[in-house]
Amino acid sequence: MEREGSTPDHVPGHWDVVIVGTGHGGAQAAIALRQQGHDGSILMIGRDSVPPYERPPLSKEYLAGEKPFERIMIRPEKFWADKDISLMLGSAVTEIDWMAHTVMLSDGSAIGYRKLIWSGGGDPRRLSSTGANQKGVYYVRDKRDADAIRAALDAGAKRAVVIGGGYIGLEAAAVLRKLGCEVTLIEALPRVLARVAGEELSRFYEEEHRRQGVDVRLETGVEEILGEDGKVTGVELDSGETIECDMVVVGIGIVPAVGPLIAAGAAGSNGVDVDFICRTTLDDIYAIGDCAAHANPFADNAVIRLESVQNAHDMANTVAKAIMGDKQPYHALPWFWSNQYDLKLQTAGLSLDYDDTVLRGDPADRKFTVVYLKEGKPIAFDCVGTMKDYVQGRKMLEAGVERVDRELLADPEVPLKELL
Ligand code: FAD
């Protein structure tokens, strides 16, 4: 459904900017280009067959049936045509010829570009256990995944095993409980959220899920997905125990979707490497969002990938500016959120390599903040129901405050802004 651009530079089959991926990064790149005054032709190519939508609700309000699809669209459908941004949906880019400045599509056609922005995100990491390909095993990455889970629930699924205690697994578990399912959550590590949060937050969420009726199993592996006639009937754990279920929801991370870029010669081992303005090592090709490995100033310039709306959005803005000639280095405070039950978590900064934590408030009140310190310097905040701490903590991180009085920091009665 290619629509001819109306801009003077547009020739059929050739676009000024081609964006691969219609998720958070891709959509924002197109929006930001127009905001920056770009008047050349823009084409977005995406595997999703529906216009750009938000992913976070897929494990929250959309999965719970509380928000219809129209309310999770990044912009109303009409917006894209109004801004003269063309969408080619349901199409995958399979190859890139960076010297010829063309991308090849799954149907064999070729499309030319002046600048290419790759915002391919990631594919869910697949479960490798025997039986994992059966009907009733679900992932949560795109709208189709969430719709398939909803359909299974509507068809009467009542017992779920969630594999993976990261944010997506925990959020899915919370929604399934809310919808009345029996839920068992399996995590291989000794605590949930082990890769992204400290002990205090992990223990709090484990307890909360247990209080809500989730059977949380830590340090537990999956031996096999059991089934009958190709349909899931249970999960055999590495202890030999079997948990009977009607569905398995897997949330064990993503694999960056960068195959064509790497095959074309772009550098990268964990995703694709980008520089301070999100350029890959291939001429005129940028990469943003979940798949972009970059040196992050809020992690002492460690090369990392961030999987968050903030990162996709702010990298998109960096690239749009760079294409318009304003080469400002990517420098944005990382932030994230997670909703589970009635709890709202907001995080600011990156807790990588923290060597100390300070707890503000009491988790028993379901309202508290964990401050992460590195050599005495605050580097991240996890705020559960403490909006003020989140706002003021962000300011502290942005200001780069080197040292704070630990005792004052631990006192929830002392506003963080007084420690700035
Ligand atoms: P995506 O939004 O994933 O978009 C990538 C797009 O590229 C996809 O549409 C994909 O189909 C397409 N694509 C890939 N390869 C090709 C190809 N070869 N050709 C064409 N198209 C291609 N973040 C938060 O900050 N807070 C949250 O609460 C939160 N919750 C989440 C809940 C869920 C269930 C999920 C899945 C993610 C959540 N995230 C959350 C993460 C956030 O959604 C991602 O970080 C963000 O979407 C990244 O944007 P992106 O553009 O890099 O990738």
Q: What is the DSSP string of 273-303?
A: E--TT-B-SSTTEEE-GGGEEEEEGGGTTEE
DSSP state string for 374-416? ETTEEEEEEEES-HHHHHHHHHHHHHT-----HHHHT-TTS-G
Angle, nearest 10°, between helix axes 309-323 and 24-35? 40
* Cα of 396 from ligand 1 centre, angstroms: 29
pLDDT digits (tens, 9 = 90+) for 391-402: 999 999 999 999
User: What is the band of 102 on the pLDDT scale with cuts at 50, 70, 90?
Assistant: very high
Q: Is the pLDDT of residue 212 over 80?
A: yes
- Please compute the mean of the pLDDT values over residues 129-137 and round it to a whole number: 96
- pLDDT at 1 (0 to 100): 31
Structure tokens at 419: 């420690």
Distance CA 165, CA 340 (A): 13
Q: Where are the beta strands (DSSP E) in 62-142?
A: 85-89, 93-97, 102-105, 110-118, 122-124, 137-139
- Please compute the mean of the pLDDT values over residues 223-238 and round it to a whole number: 97
- Please compute the mean of the pLDDT values over residues 197-202 and round it to a whole number: 97
Task: Tell me which residue has its CA closest to atom 21 in ligand 1.
Answer: 46
* Cα of 405 from ligand 1 centre, angstroms: 39
User: What is the band of 11 on the pLDDT scale with cuts at 50, 70, 90?
Assistant: low
- Please compute the mean of the pLDDT values over residues 37-47 and round it to a whole number: 98
* Cα of 134 from ligand 1 centre, angstroms: 25
- pLDDT at 10 (0 to 100): 60
- Please compute the mean of the pLDDT values over residues 357-372 and round it to a whole number: 97
pLDDT digits (tens, 9 = 90+) for 298-349: 999 999 999 999 999 999 999 999 999 999 999 999 999 999 999 999 999 9
Q: Is the pLDDT of residue 6 over 70?
A: no
Distance CA 280, CA 199 (A): 36
Task: Report pTM.
Answer: 0.96
C-alpha distances in Å from residue 268, one per residue of 95, 256, 272, 275, 303: 16, 10, 4, 12, 11
Task: Tell me which residue has its CA closest to atom 51 in ligand 1.
Answer: 25
Mutate to test the pocket of ligand 1, among 18, 22, 55 (most ligand atoms within 8 A of CB): 55
DSSP lists the bridge partners of residue 249 as: 138, 162
- pLDDT at 8 (0 to 100): 41
- Please compute the mean of the pLDDT values over residues 35-45 and round it to a whole number: 98
User: What is the band of 5 on the pLDDT scale with cuts at 50, 70, 90?
Assistant: very low
- pLDDT at 324 (0 to 100): 98
Determine the atom of ligand 1 nearest the C-alpha atom of 25: 51
Mutate to test the pocket of ligand 1, among 290, 294, 330, 337 (most ligand atoms within 8 A of CB): 290
Percent of the chain with pLDDT strictly greater than 70: 97
User: What is the band of 4 on the pLDDT scale with cuts at 50, 70, 90?
Assistant: very low
Determine the atom of ligand 1 nearest the C-alpha atom of 45: 20
- pLDDT at 420 (0 to 100): 85
User: What is the band of 47 on the pLDDT scale with cuts at 50, 70, 90?
Assistant: very high
- pLDDT at 94 (0 to 100): 98
3-class SS at 117?
A: strand
- Please compute the mean of the pLDDT values over residues 236-254 and round it to a whole number: 98
Strand order in the sheet with 159-163: 137-139, 247-250, 159-163, 182-186, 215-217
Q: Is the pLDDT of residue 3 over 90?
A: no
3-class SS at 66?
A: coil
